[in-house]
Structure 1
Amino acid sequence: MAQQVIMPKWGLTMTEGKVVRWLKGEGDSVEAGEPLFEVETDKITNSVEAPASGVLFQIIVPEGETAEVKAVLAIIAAPGETPEKSAGGAASAEAPSEAPAAAAPEKKETPASAPAGEGEFARAMPAARKLAEELGVDLCTVAGTGPRGAITMKDVQSAADAAFDGINASPKAIEFARKKGIDLSLVTGSGEDGRITKADILKAMNPAAEQPAQAAPAEAQDTILPMDGVRKLIADNMHASLNSAAQLSVFVELDVTEMVRLRADLLARNKRNPEYRMSYNDIISYAVCRALKRHPIMNSTLQEDGIHLHPHVNLGIAVSLPNGLIVPNVKKADTMTLEELRTEVRDVAGRARKGGLNMDEISGGTFTISNVSMLGVDGFTPILNPPETGILGIGRIIEKPAVKDGEIKIRSMMTLSLTFNHMTTDGAPAMTFLRELGDMLENPGLMIM
């Protein structure tokens, strides 16, 4: 019996997902449990496994499109089974047996045996379907030459080119007209034998523009980066964060010479182990967990029923990716030793960059650290990761003159910035937390008290 493939729901806040890539094409055999497609949400991009074995009979939601959770994305059929084509929509208890055929737009006369008839589903490869959308080609008017009559990208391109049959225009002019949606039958050509050039199209688009005797170099155009995918989701989340919390940032400059010495001692102690790593971020993460246990209001989240004080620290680590930012968290970080915590932090950060996180690891955080020291920045005002109460910004460590024991000496100095939700806590408790954290970093021995 046919099996529906639906958009998964990862976490309570997920309402929709974007199909980034199908790992199988229509007609391919699939095995239950093997990766079938990739989904992108505001938090994560991950592959989804096939729910059953069989043949990928129909892809309903093509690559690049967004669908709501529980929406039907595809149909997997048993070998030899030919279920009715589905128009998609919310998942039902059983695979569709009599799905109404999608109404096709009016089309020109075509041979009845080649293209899909009116009201029928046009069988097309996912890439061909995407190309048809870009070129404005009605798939119901295209005859497929692929396996079992499926429409290929070449078929779509041929159909698009056919629209320009009989037009005396250069290939570049045709391509430009297709992108701009220009009807070349309305353009007068100035080339040889009335051939239409790109310049003729530009002149038709802007008839008032003066044509110079000699064509000037085309003026540089803006590069437009679409505000979609992860970039749009991050933008929406950051805007929502600022709208849903009364955010205030405070700063403190620290003399972390002793923390620098502690790290050097740990590295020297483990110098025979070529795999050993210990960063300032590891030590700061450990100190943050100690300070949060002493100031539980900073380890809280603001939810609909009130302020939740959490018994453990689920420490979020902001990780920069080529296309955005993700914040995995280490569960119960407050129960770990410094060595255990550094291992866990490296593990989640590494898998965040490689795309190997699960939903549990990017949800349920209680406090976040954002370290920009590697960018050479002294301080900044981080934006809260809702519904958390606080986020700590870590700047670079730099040697500069400072007063120590009444004398001017060269010391290792660092700036911390704490953004907190003034709806959850007042300034004094937040600043007290930051000051105690600073004391621990200036005198690491305080971390064990």
Structure 2
Amino acid sequence: MAQNVIMPKWGLTMKEGKVVRWLKGEGDSVEAGEPLFEVETDKITNSVESPAGGVLAKIIVPEGDVAPVQAVLGIIAAPGEAVESAAAPSGAGGAGAEAAPAAVAEASAAAPAGDGKFVPAMPAARKLARELGVDLAAVAGTGRNGSITMKDVQAHADSAFAGINASPKAIEFARKQGIDLSMVEGTGEDGRITKADILRAMNPAADQPVAAAPAARDTVLPMEGVRRLIADNMQASLQNAAQLTVFVEVDVTGMVDLRTRLLERNRRDAEYRLSYNDIISYAVCRALKRHPIMNSTLQEDGIHLHERVNLGVAVSIDKGLIVPNVKEADTFGLEELRTRIRDVAGRARKGGLSMDEISGGTFTISNVSMLGVDGFTPILNPPETGILGVGRIVEKPAVHNGEIAVRRMMTLSLTFNHMTTDGAPAMAFLRELGDMLETPGLMIV
């Protein structure tokens, strides 16, 4: 029996992926569990295994195209089994494949219209329904006790574009602009509608030639691949969380002295390295254990308080930014933690991370001190509640023990989700973290 090959979902924030390369061609034999294709997300490029053995009978999403999670990318059939030609999936769900099994078609069928009674739905689902103009009474709920989730609302909205030959970006843009794609002429491959086609339809005058003096040509960097996915995730983070940033300037002279003493103690070890970020990471783990609300994630069923700290460390790479995390970071001493942070950061730059190491984080640190920046407003890494921004250390005159002295000062910035916690608990966490860096002995109390 034919089986669909679908776009996997890696992590709570993944909405779509780009098919980078098919490792098998149409008609090739494939074994269950054998690498079948490669997917690129905003975080990683990884291979996906075949869900079944047989023959790759049909490739629906070609290399280079972007498809949402759970979209049908191809079909695997038994040798000699006839598979009907499948239409290219719509950008919002890929459910338009005509060759999909009957079970898939039944699962995607819309629920009958409601009768005006209260419809149980998650708050986030209601918000999304308002934004997309979806009647909740017409949506089938798959959540607990039939409650409607965001995925249900999105799937219902996507069904309106089933059978439309358009790119995923074009469908998303048309939905936001309220454009009827049946009235738009596609100029892409095989008549596919692109975002540019929609823009032309919205402003026909733009196609008319206008006499103008020759102008210098801009260099255009395509907004695609990892850059596009990062942009979409950052925008989604700001739209789906009530983000607030608070700042505190900390006298870290004590932390600087601690690092100096530890480096001196290990001076005979040529391989020994210890950064301020290592000490800050250790302090963050201690502070999170005392303020558990900051070590939480906001998910569809509520706020999850995590027993362990999976500490994310933002790492700059050629294509953008990636946030690997150290699992159970709160269980390690300073020396073990610094070793593990260096390990994941090093492999992040070389491209050797696993999916587990870039998902499941509970709190993130973003250190920009090496860029000479004092403070900034970091953006949350959803679904986490908090992210700490770390600025550079600057020598400044400050009052110390009643006298003006030169001290080493650092600005810390904490962005938190006001949907998950109020300002007072978040600020109490930041203040305690600052106290630990000013007086490192407090980390062991």
Place the TM-score, normalised by the shorter chain, in its bin.
0.5 to 0.7
| Aligned mates of 1:276, 1:27 — CA distance in 2 | 54
1:48 Cα deviation from its structure 2 partner: 2.2
The alignment partner of 1:271 has SS state of coil
Question: Hey, what does 2:377 align to over in structure 1?
Answer: 381
Q: After the TM superposition, which residues 222-237 of structure 1 pair with which residues of structure 2 at under 5 Å, given as runs? A: 222-237=218-233
Cα offset, 1:419, TM superposition: 1.4
Q: 1:242 aligns with which of 235, 238, 241?
A: 238
Contact 1:46 1:355 in 2 (8 A): no
1:100 is aligned to none
Q: 1:343 aligns with which of 339, 342, 350?
A: 339
Aligned amino acid, residue 87 of structure 1: A
Letter in 2 for 1:63: E
- Tell me by how many angstroms 1:70 deviates: 4.1
* Residue equivalent to 2:293: 297
| Structure 2 residues not aligned, in runs of 5+ | 88-93, 102-186, 192-207
Q: What is the aligned-residue RMSD (CA, Å)?
A: 3.5
TM norm structure 2: 0.66
Deviation at 1:298, TM superposition (A): 1.6
Structure 2 residue 63 is the aligned partner of structure 1 residue 67: no
1:346 is matched by which residue type in structure 2?
A: R
Residue in structure 2 matching 1:394, options 374, 390, 393: 390
Q: Secondary structure at the match of 2:264?
A: helix
| Aligned mates of 1:353, 1:292 — CA distance in 2 | 27
Which residue number corresponds to residue 87 of structure 1?
86
Comparing 22-31 with 286-295, greater Cα deviation is found at 22-31
Normalised TM-score (structure 1): 0.65
Change (3 A) 1:307 1:35: closer
C-alpha distance after superposition, 1:50-105 (max 9, x if no partner):
55678766543222112243444345688x9686574366699x999xxxxxxxxx
Which residue is equivalent to 1:357? 353
Identical counterparts, % of pairs: 79
Deviations 1:267-304 (A, max 9, x none): 22223333322111111000001011111122222333
Distance 1:245 1:68 in 2: 22
1:391-425 residue CA offsets vs partner (Å, 9 max, x unmatched): 11100112233332333333221111111222322
Bigger CA drift: 29-38 or 241-250?
29-38
Matched, 1:321 2:320: no
Equivalent position of 2:19 in the other structure: 19
1:444 deviation in Å? 1.0
Distance 1:309 1:226 in 2: 40
Distance 1:432 1:84, change over 3 A: closer
1:228 CA drift (Å): 3.0
Deviation for aligned residue 1:323: 2.3
Equivalences for residues 112-191 of structure 1 within 5 A? none
Once the two structures are superposed, the pairs formed by residues 277-292 of structure 1 within 5 Å of their partners are 277-292=273-288
Q: Do the aligned partners of 2:11 and 2:360 also contact (CA within 8 Å) in 1?
A: no
Aligned partner of 2:47: which letter?
Answer: S
Change (3 A) 1:366 1:337: same
Count the aligned residue pairs: 340
Assess, with a 3 A threshold, how the Cα gap between structure 1 residues 12 and 446 changes in structure 2: closer, same or farther.
Answer: closer
- Name the counterpart of 2:271: 275
Which amino acid letter does the alignment assign opposite residue 425 of structure 1?
T
Q: Secondary structure at the match of 1:221?
A: coil
Provide Cα deviations, 1:301-354, integer angstroms capped at 9, x if missing partner.
Answer: 233333322211121112222222222222211111111211222222222223
Rounded to whole Å, the distance in 2 between the matches of 1:265 and 1:3 is 62
* Cα distance in 1 between the residues matched to 2:381 and 2:212: 51
Q: Distance in 2 between matches of 1:332 and 1:315?
A: 8
Question: Closer, same or farther in 2 for the Cα pair 1:266/1:17, shift >3 Å?
Answer: same
Runs of 5+ unmatched residues, structure 1: 97-134, 140-204, 211-217
The Cα shift of 1:39 comes to 0.7
1:17–1:253 Cα change, 3 Å: same
**Partner Cα separation in structure 1 for residue 75 and residue 242 of structure 2:** 47
Asked if structure 1 preserves the Cα contact closer than 8 Å seen for 2:389 and 2:412, the reply is: yes
SS of alignment partner, residue 364 of structure 1: coil
Which residue number in structure 2 is paired with residue 366 of structure 1?
A: 362
Matched, 1:264 2:244: no
Contact 1:6 1:91 in 2 (8 A): no
Amino acid in the other structure paired with 1:48: V
Between the aligned partners of 2:39 and 2:438, the Cα distance in structure 1 is: 45
Question: Is the contact between residue 58 and residue 85 of structure 1 (CA under 8 Å) also seen in structure 2?
Answer: no
Q: 1:220 to 1:273 in 2, by over 3 A?
A: same
CA 1:25/1:306 → structure 2, altered by over 3 Å: closer, same or farther?
closer
